[in-house]
Chains A and B, each alone.
Chain A
Amino acid sequence: MFDNFGLFVSTIADGLLLTVEATIGGIVLATALSFLAGLAMLSRFTAVRVITRVYVEIWRGTSEVVQLFWIYFALPVLTGFQILPLWAGIFVLGLNFGAYGAEIVRGAVQSVPREQREGCVALNFSPAQRMRRVILPQAFVDMVPPFNNLFIQLLKGTALLTFITVPEMTYQASQVLVTRYTGQAALIWTTVLVFYLVLSVLITTGMKVLERRAAARVGRTPVRRTAALGGASGHSGVA
């Protein structure tokens, strides 16, 4: 049964790079959008808040698969501009998870105690200084665990790129291997699952280091987390 195991691992590993690229690309875009939209939702200007709300609710309210299909199959017809599959994937993952992340940023910033803000006013900090030097460093510590969940969700979301023929790990397994070695599907899929498991353990490990650093920076020790591999929440639990 394990005769072809080496071949399976190397074929799936061929897709590993694309899975990692999509994950990192998605994480970068999602993080940027989370901060942008999260802070915009706290803006003084109603128009800014409304526009951001519309973005967040549309991307959270529809299905990832529909978003992916829409960007990949429908948008080119409307605009005459075809996006490369990998870029379409990163774009959708970033926009989708950015919408969830925006709620994390908003919530964390809002939960910084009022006295911190008042202290800044008393010390005559400008609003930008207040945000950058006082509010965000403290809010950041609370953001790391939910972002850890979000990034693992995003990693799992990269499997969807199979639908638009990006040859990442799931595609390699389902289109390249299983079609030829149908009898060994159990071994192939188990290998794929283990690859994903390792990647999510890596994300969690990295985020734990980040959390400890961020907490040390504001003079706190992080609360011990119960789940070892990830957090509790899925998509909606993040809000």
Chain B
Amino acid sequence: MSWDWNYLWQVLPSVLEGLLVTFEATVLGALVAYVLGLIFAILRRSGIWVISRLVWLIVEFVRSTPLLVQLFFLFFVLPQFGVTLSPLTAGVLGLGLHYATYTSEVYRAGIEAVPKGQWEACVALSLPRTRTWLRVILPQAIPRVLPALGNYTISMFKETPLLLAIGVLDLAGAAFEVGSLNFRYVEPLTLAGVLFLVLSYPASLLVRFLERRFGLAK
């Protein structure tokens, strides 16, 4: 069977609709990952043994198990405890939680790269803890980790197709759906692949450039 351009134009609108869902899931999931990851990183440095151990355990557990299974868990198990999430919400939370375990390591590296003297100066000036974090440490740590966060955002973008397992039709899901309606997968799936590539490749070039300019010195 050969390539059919007419069919490609015919499926293009539905595939692009999936792309919008992919963007939505990526942006919302990334926001969850940025915020939750920072909370994890700060809790791990809280100095309270129980809390930092517990957070470490959660992070290692989530990071060592498949996102797909975690999505099934969020979507099919939580309703039994009275929490019913829409597919997209469950997907965003799952993606966000999974990637928060990665971003927490990124933040940790950024925080550790802040010179010790900065902490000591805060103690010497007897700045309160919140002020130390918000006005001294984080403003120095976060700009340096932005490229690494960008990298994970691109990864999340490429992992949104997993949401298809809980019924969210993202870019890949929409391509698969329209392909199975017409019993012809070649064009929509190739289109989805090309779209992923043309969007993520320039983004990763940009991140690499930022990394060289502003990233943590290695």
In the bound complex, residues from chain A placing their C-beta under 8 Å from that of B197 are 57-58, 61-62
The answer to whether A170 and B193 touch (CB under 8 A), given A78-B186, A230-B63, is no
* Contact call B64/A237, Cβ cutoff below 8 A: no
Indicate whether B60 reaches chain A with its CB closer than 8 angstroms: yes
Our pick among A170, A186, A239 for the contact of B69 (Cβ within 8 Å) is A170
The answer to whether A156 and B151 touch (CB under 8 A), given A63-B159, A64-B158, A73-B185, is no
Our pick among A62, A63, A77, A193 for the contact of B184 (Cβ within 8 Å) is A77
Given the complex of chains A and B, what is the CA–CA distance between A145 and B175 in angstroms? 37
* Contact call B154/A236, Cβ cutoff below 8 A: yes
Given the complex of chains A and B, what is the CA–CA distance between A124 and B200 in angstroms? 45
Indicate whether B161 reaches chain A with its CB closer than 8 angstroms: yes
Chain A, residues 139-169, CB within 8 Å of chain B (1/0): the string is 0000000000000100111111011000000
Our pick among B80, B105, B158, B196 for the contact of A232 (Cβ within 8 Å) is B105
Indicate whether B172 reaches chain A with its CB closer than 8 angstroms: yes
* Contact call B161/A66, Cβ cutoff below 8 A: yes
Given the complex of chains A and B, what is the CA–CA distance between A185 and B162 in angstroms? 19
* Contact call B73/A193, Cβ cutoff below 8 A: yes
Q: Which segment, of A36-44, A112-120, A196-204, A216-224, faces chain B?
A: A196-204
* Contact call B151/A237, Cβ cutoff below 8 A: yes
- Chain A residue at minimal CB-CB distance from B60: A229
In the bound complex, residues from chain B placing their C-beta under 8 Å from that of A196 are 64-66, 69
Given the complex of chains A and B, what is the CA–CA distance between A68 and B207 in angstroms? 26
Given the complex of chains A and B, what is the CA–CA distance between A160 and B71 in angstroms? 12
Indicate whether A192 reaches chain B with its CB closer than 8 angstroms: yes
* Contact call B158/A62, Cβ cutoff below 8 A: yes
How far does the Cβ of A230 sit from chain B's closest Cβ, in whole Å?
A: 6
How far does the Cβ of A143 sit from chain B's closest Cβ, in whole Å?
A: 16
Bin chain A's interface residue count.
Answer: 35 or more
- Chain A residue at minimal CB-CB distance from B148: A237
How far does the Cβ of A94 sit from chain B's closest Cβ, in whole Å?
A: 18
Kindly count the residue-residue contacts between A and B in the assembled complex, taking CB atoms under 8 Å apart: 154
Indicate whether A183 reaches chain B with its CB closer than 8 angstroms: yes
In the bound complex, residues from chain A placing their C-beta under 8 Å from that of B70 are 193
Indicate whether B209 reaches chain A with its CB closer than 8 angstroms: no
* Contact call A193/B189, Cβ cutoff below 8 A: no
In the bound complex, residues from chain A placing their C-beta under 8 Å from that of B40 are none
Indicate whether B97 reaches chain A with its CB closer than 8 angstroms: no
Indicate whether A233 reaches chain B with its CB closer than 8 angstroms: yes
The answer to whether A230 and B60 touch (CB under 8 A), given A63-B161, A156-B66, A237-B102, is yes
* Contact call B69/A65, Cβ cutoff below 8 A: no
Chain B, residues 49-90, CB within 8 Å of chain A (1/0): the string is 000000000001101111111101100110011000000000
Indicate whether A205 reaches chain B with its CB closer than 8 angstroms: no
Main secondary structure on A side of the interface with B: helix
* Contact call A66/B192, Cβ cutoff below 8 A: yes
Given the complex of chains A and B, what is the CA–CA distance between A144 and B192 in angstroms? 34
Our pick among A57, A156, A237 for the contact of B201 (Cβ within 8 Å) is A57
Indicate whether B140 reaches chain A with its CB closer than 8 angstroms: no
Indicate whether A11 reaches chain B with its CB closer than 8 angstroms: no
Given the complex of chains A and B, what is the CA–CA distance between A197 and B65 in angstroms? 6
The answer to whether A73 and B69 touch (CB under 8 A), given A63-B158, A186-B80, is no
* Contact call B204/A61, Cβ cutoff below 8 A: yes
Indicate whether A228 reaches chain B with its CB closer than 8 angstroms: yes
In the bound complex, residues from chain B placing their C-beta under 8 Å from that of A193 are 61, 65, 69-70, 73
* Contact call B189/A74, Cβ cutoff below 8 A: yes
In the bound complex, residues from chain A placing their C-beta under 8 Å from that of B106 are 232, 237
- Chain B residue at minimal CB-CB distance from A157: B66
Indicate whether B118 reaches chain A with its CB closer than 8 angstroms: no
Given the complex of chains A and B, what is the CA–CA distance between A183 and B109 in angstroms? 42
Within 8 A of B (CB), among A198-214: 200-201
Given the complex of chains A and B, what is the CA–CA distance between A236 and B75 in angstroms? 27
* Residue with the highest number of chain A CB atoms closer than 10 Å, among B66, B184, B189: B66
In the bound complex, residues from chain B placing their C-beta under 8 Å from that of A60 are 204
Q: A63-B160, A69-B172 are in contact. List 5 more A-B contacts (CB 8 A).
A: A61-B200, A66-B189, A66-B192, A159-B66, A178-B76
* A-B pairs, 10 with minimum CB distance: A65-B161, A232-B105, A159-B66, A236-B151, A200-B64, A156-B66, A73-B185, A159-B68, A61-B197, A229-B60
